[in-house]
Amino acid sequence: MDAAPAQPRVVAIVPIGALENAKSRLGGSLDAEERRDLVDAMIERTLGATTATPAIAETLVVSPDREALAQADRLGARTMRQRGQGLNAGIREARDDAIAGGADAVMIVPIDLPLVSPAALAQLVAPLGVVGERPLVVLAPDRHHRGTNGLLLAPPDAIEPSFGGDSRAAHEACARDAGARYVELDGPLSLDLDTPDDLLLVESLVDDPIGVLETADAG
């Protein structure tokens, strides 16, 4: 009797920038203390989702911020100190570490997704088939279809990370150039929390989804 194929090893990479002055674009709605509370809550929510997703074998947090790494360690993630400058540099460092550890795929998950959940992350993994098939790129765009709110790559170096302005189009073009199968998914990951308009939208959709919006309202 043939053995069942091994489940692909998926490593979730969660990049976290410097916590000081994080989410400064929300400064018109939240003061510095409220923004820090928000970021702490988003880290907890994101890592709670990745560590509870059965298809994810490991969560790896990469950050230049010692406090962020300490919080991630308390929440059960593995951590690594970012050495290079910028978001994409940190993702590449974590990706190379995941490859060295035998990862078949990586899932890059930002921390500012208020509706992130194990079910939402499972949707990103669902298109992943047999290891060794055609490279795969699965992308969850933001609600404006310009940014990237979730990215699964199999193998982990199927394409280079290109987060930043208009990253959805950049990732799609990279997938096409690499001859990868490209899958784009709509769903709860399309909502991120970056501007006051995003904050208002979250509050209109869900009652306190992050756990600190009530505090923000009171301010």
Looking at residue 66, its pLDDT comes to 95
- Which whole number is the average pLDDT over 11-31? 72
**What pLDDT score does 101 carry?**
97
Question: For position 208, what pLDDT does the model report?
Answer: 53
What is residue 63's predicted lDDT score, i.e. its pLDDT? 96
Q: pLDDT of 49-59, one tens digit each?
A: 999 999 999 99
Neighbours of 132 (CB within 10 A): 9
Q: What are phi and psi of 9, to 5 degrees?
A: -85, 115
For 68, phi then psi, to 5°, come to -65, -40
State residue 119's pLDDT score: 97
Q: Which of 154, 149, 61, 53 is nearest to 103 (CA)?
A: 154
Helix extents (H) in the chain: 32-51, 66-74, 87-100, 118-125, 167-177, 196-205, 213-218
Mean pLDDT of 152-172: 96
Beta-bridge partners for 11 = 58, 106
* Residue 219 pLDDT > 50: no
Nearest 5°: the CA angle 189, 47, 107 is 55
**Average confidence (pLDDT) over 82-98:** 97
Residue 160 makes CB contacts below 8 A (sequence gap 6+) with: 88, 92, 174
18 band by pLDDT with thresholds 50, 70 and 90: confident
pLDDT at 7 over 60: yes
**Cα–Cα distance list, 210 to 22, 46, 48, 89, 105 (Å):** 16, 10, 12, 28, 28
* Residues 111-127, mean pLDDT to the nearest whole number: 94
At 214, is the pLDDT very low, low, confident or very high (cuts 50, 70, 90)?
Answer: very low
CATH for the stretch 10-212: 3.90.550.10
Cα 101–chain centre separation: 20
pLDDT in the model for residue 130: 58
Spatial CA neighbour of 139 closest among 176, 168, 100, 174: 168
For residues 159-182, give the mean pLDDT: 96
Residues in the chain: 219
